[in-house]
Structure 1
Amino acid sequence: MRLRLFLLALGAFAVGTDSMVMTGILDGIADDLDTSLAAAGQLVTVFGLAYALLAPVLATVTARWDRRRVLFTALAVFTLANALSALAPGYGTLLATRILAAAGAALYTPTANAVATTLVPPERRGRAIATVLGGMTVATVLGVPLGAYLGRADWRWTMWLVTALGAAALAGLAALLRDLPAATAAPGIRERLAPLRNRQVIAGTFTTFLVFVAVNSVYIYLATAVRPATGGDQDRLSLILLMSGLASMAGNWLGGRLVDRLGVRAVLLTGGVLGALAYGALPLLSGSMPGALCYAAVSPLVGWSMAVALPHRLVSVDPPSAPLLMSLNSSALYLGLAAAGVVGSTAIDVLGGRWFPVVSVVAMAGAVAVTLGTVRRPPRPQAAEETRLVSPSGV
């Protein structure tokens, strides 16, 4: 049982590495394919946009498929796409293979989470999902720095790494994942989008979008932002990415506990303010390795804490629609990732490689403003008790 969950997590690790590793190899891609850094950054934009748009469509198309077939198809497409990326002779071909990889990822991730819940008793489903999603988090610690390290010599080695991870997950699941329950009918696209009529859902998804624009406008171009500290040295960049990955894991762990203890509003507001301060300080911190490492420790810690609170907020709006709301949150996340590639590259062109993180300050401030205007302060325990005593149900 644990081995099968581990293999599902390995697939998530491959997907997470693929979606984030471009940060460390954009310079190499731009040089090798004779294109600009901004154009190379659009590879991240295209991946995120394709994922966000294809996820609900592919889920609907494959709703009646056996789940084992869906997983194998998703990983096969994902693995093939990354092999083609490694062999891409030019920018146009690489762009097309990134869309194909996003299709495989968009089909794999939600299916893997659903399958994980069928492999364990109901009381362990939360931990099963956490195990699979843990593969995404670990990707920031191991996959991204390792991919960046391999990319020092040739960015294509990074793509071969992701290909190998996808192939390993596919082979393992083919051997060990059997006898899954039959798939139930999935809602259509109209039903998936029905919660968008709720203003709180609109505000929640827009907040997710703004937060991930803020986070990724800097993260995608982190090599540019910290170049004064690294001097273009790939080993130093890998160290910064490793620090960022460790902080991401800590933020994911801390965020769940802070949401339970303090509530969504407190986590989003505190995290938003601290995140904006970190982005504003980055042009100054990036002048030295200690400063860059300080930023790499604080910013992901804050960002991943908020990433836990965002879906929690959406689900609390309409708990019976939790699966649909989680899907919408995922789409908003990847739309934010897609937009961040454009926003970040435009900011570099307008503000320069040192001051472009200011755009993330603006996006995060927007997320704080939306949260202030749409998320109510939780009632104090004493006030809640008084309300219960005077209400008809409390008589």
Structure 2
Amino acid sequence: MTATTTSPLPYRSLIWLAVATFSTGIDGYVLAGLLPKIAADLSVTEALAGQLVSVFALTSAIAAPVLGAATSGWERRRTIVLSLAVFVLGNLIVGLAPGYSVALSGRVVAALGASLLNAAISSYVIHLAPEQHRGKALSFVLGGWMTATALGVPVGLLLGQSSWRFPLIMVAVVGTIALIGIMIKLPHLRLPVTTLAERLTPLRQPRLVAGLLVTTGILCASYTCFTYAVLILGPTHRAGWMIILIMFGYGLASMLGNAFTGRLADRFTPLRVLTVILIGLLLNSLVGAVAFQVASLSAIAVLGLVWFFVAGIGNGGAAVPQQARLASMAPQSAAIVMALNASAISLGSALGSGLGGASLTAGLAPYELLGVAAIVLTATLILHLVVARLTARRTAAAAA
């Protein structure tokens, strides 16, 4: 059976891809809420436990374009099945790891599978769905990730109260279910072969590279705090059920931001929407940093949640306008640019987790990570404005 772009939207096939992205979404967020338990069980510091998040993101950032080019000639369903199987295996290794080094190795294995899986799924959906329904199809499949943020992560954290290993086993089980469904229901699909050099062609544009670094900066600032959110909010929200509810709220805030800014980007320009979001994230970090420093403990209990949920809205809302702006910079290479943007996201996540861990190791208090994030956001906002200026000049020159 071969997929064609003239067939109606095949939700019975796409649902299994959504389940696959659901499993990767849980994996991407759940460990951040379990750092104290992981550190205690593996006999490492919480900052070192946070590197389980960093190494996953860094491996994904490096591996995605390389593995994507290396497997571009493979049949797409085969690629998806293999990458999902590797992802499941990696999570089993982490979930059963007797020590930190084995857990770290398992995260590398899981990241290799996830990096190839995400790229393969995106390219599959774009070519499977009719052109007039591609946005709907991508939204449906990638909705698995957003659902994982709002639903899967709290469930994983609930399981993690008994053992931090249970959520990893849950991810492996969900991934296995998706694997079986994909093998049974997903049509075969072959795409044109692309080389790594062809995939990296857009990087010859300095303006586009700077735009990708804006993505990296946003995610770096986000993960500097999100990875250690349990430590930041811990003094005022100690109970496990509180953290679960807070993470659930963060997921809903991210979904709200994503949906709201998507409509704003259609009404206004992606550039304006992204500028407002970056300014909002920066102000939120600065106000939050001051509040944690000077406010009373009872006030921090409220202001800390306000900071966290506003950050969720901003971080979730930045994705749509940023992707739209990047695609407009190289419309003939939009698919490749989106793949590079995925690597920029993973790189930012890795840098943020690493920066937060290094800051804690250097002696900073967890709440002082908000100030570190503010510094990163300041640099990101400046870079964003530079890219906007260069784009405006290029547009004016083209018009002249």
Fold-level similarity (TM above 0.5): yes
Instruction: Please tell me whether the aligned partners of residues 207 and 390 of structure 2 are also in contact (alpha carbons under 8 angstroms).
Output: no
Name the CA distance, whole Å, in 2 between partners of 1:353 and 1:254.
Answer: 30
Aligned length: 380
Name the CA distance, whole Å, in 2 between partners of 1:111 and 1:338.
Answer: 21
Partner residue of 2:196 out of 185, 189, 210:
189
Name the CA distance, whole Å, in 2 between partners of 1:278 and 1:255.
Answer: 17
Name the CA distance, whole Å, in 2 between partners of 1:200 and 1:378.
Answer: 8
- Structure 1: which amino acid aligns with 2:321? A
Q: What CA deviation, in whole Å up to 9, does each residue of 1:227-267 have, x standing for no partner?
A: 12212x21111111011000000111112111122212212
> How does the TM-score come out when normalised to structure 2?
0.91
SS in 1 for 2:162: coil
Partner residue of 1:370 out of 378, 383, 387:
383
Name the CA distance, whole Å, in 2 between partners of 1:243 and 1:199.
Answer: 38
SS in 1 for 2:365: helix
Partner residue of 1:5 out of 3, 14, 23:
14
- Structure 2: which amino acid aligns with 1:204? G
How many angstroms does 1:350 deviate by?
Answer: 3.5
Mark the CA change 1:377 to 1:111 in structure 2 (over 3 Å): closer, same or farther.
same
Please name the residue that 1:209 is paired with: 216
Please name the residue that 1:339 is paired with: 351
How many angstroms does 1:347 deviate by?
Answer: 2.2
Instruction: Please tell me whether the aligned partners of residues 207 and 391 of structure 2 are also in contact (alpha carbons under 8 angstroms).
Output: no
Name the CA distance, whole Å, in 2 between partners of 1:75 and 1:372.
Answer: 39
Is 1:224 the counterpart of 2:237? The answer is: no
SS in 2 for 1:184: coil
Matched ranges for 1:63-102 at <5 A: 63-102=72-111
Which shifted more, 163-172 or 346-355? 346-355
How many angstroms does 1:212 deviate by?
Answer: 0.7
Name the CA distance, whole Å, in 2 between partners of 1:282 and 1:27.
Answer: 23
- Structure 1: which amino acid aligns with 2:177? A
How many angstroms does 1:378 deviate by?
Answer: 9.5
Partner residue of 1:357 out of 370, 375, 379:
370
SS in 2 for 1:321: helix
Which shifted more, 88-97 or 266-275? 266-275
Matched ranges for 1:98-247 at <5 A: 98-178=107-187, 180-186=188-194, 188-231=195-238, 233-247=239-253
Unaligned runs of 5+ in 2: 1-9
Name the CA distance, whole Å, in 2 between partners of 1:177 and 1:83.
Answer: 25
How many angstroms does 1:329 deviate by?
Answer: 1.0
Q: What CA deviation, in whole Å up to 9, does each residue of 1:258-309 have, x standing for no partner?
A: 1122212212221111111222233426944433332232111111211212
Q: What CA deviation, in whole Å up to 9, does each residue of 1:192-234 have, x standing for no partner?
A: 2221121211110111111111111111110011112212x21
Is 1:295 the counterpart of 2:307? The answer is: yes
Name the CA distance, whole Å, in 1 between partners of 2:22 and 2:309.
Answer: 21
How many angstroms does 1:82 deviate by?
Answer: 0.8
Please name the residue that 1:62 is paired with: 71
Q: What CA deviation, in whole Å up to 9, does each residue of 1:311-357 have, x standing for no partner?
A: 21111111001111111111111100011111111222332122221
Name the CA distance, whole Å, in 1 between partners of 2:184 and 2:79.
Answer: 15
Is 1:14 the counterpart of 2:23? The answer is: yes
Instruction: Please tell me whether the aligned partners of residues 201 and 314 of structure 1 are also in contact (alpha carbons under 8 angstroms).
Output: yes
Name the CA distance, whole Å, in 1 between partners of 2:59 and 2:112.
Answer: 7
Name the CA distance, whole Å, in 2 between partners of 1:20 and 1:87.
Answer: 19
Please name the residue that 1:322 is paired with: 334
Percent identity over the alignment? 34
Mark the CA change 1:342 to 1:378 in structure 2 (over 3 Å): closer, same or farther.
closer
How many angstroms does 1:377 deviate by?
Answer: 10
Q: What CA deviation, in whole Å up to 9, does each residue of 1:46-89 have, x standing for no partner?
A: 00010011111111221111111111101111111111111100
Mark the CA change 1:61 to 1:265 in structure 2 (over 3 Å): closer, same or farther.
same
- Structure 2: which amino acid aligns with 1:223? V
Matched ranges for 1:37-48 at <5 A: 37-48=46-57
Please name the residue that 2:7 is paired with: none
Unaligned runs of 5+ in 1: none
SS in 2 for 1:351: coil
- Structure 1: which amino acid aligns with 2:175? G
Instruction: Please tell me whether the aligned partners of residues 243 and 293 of structure 1 are also in contact (alpha carbons under 8 angstroms).
Output: no
**What is the alpha-carbon root mean square deviation over aligned residues?**
1.9
Mark the CA change 1:275 to 1:377 in structure 2 (over 3 Å): closer, same or farther.
same
Name the CA distance, whole Å, in 2 between partners of 1:364 and 1:267.
Answer: 16
Please name the residue that 2:5 is paired with: none
Instruction: Please tell me whether the aligned partners of residues 209 and 336 of structure 1 are also in contact (alpha carbons under 8 angstroms).
Output: yes
Which shifted more, 154-163 or 269-278? 269-278
Partner residue of 2:270 out of 264, 269, 281:
264
How many angstroms does 1:376 deviate by?
Answer: 4.0
Instruction: Please tell me whether the aligned partners of residues 265 and 371 of structure 1 are also in contact (alpha carbons under 8 angstroms).
Output: no
> How does the TM-score come out when normalised to structure 1?
0.92
SS in 2 for 1:295: helix
Instruction: Please tell me whether the aligned partners of residues 150 and 157 of structure 1 are also in contact (alpha carbons under 8 angstroms).
Output: yes
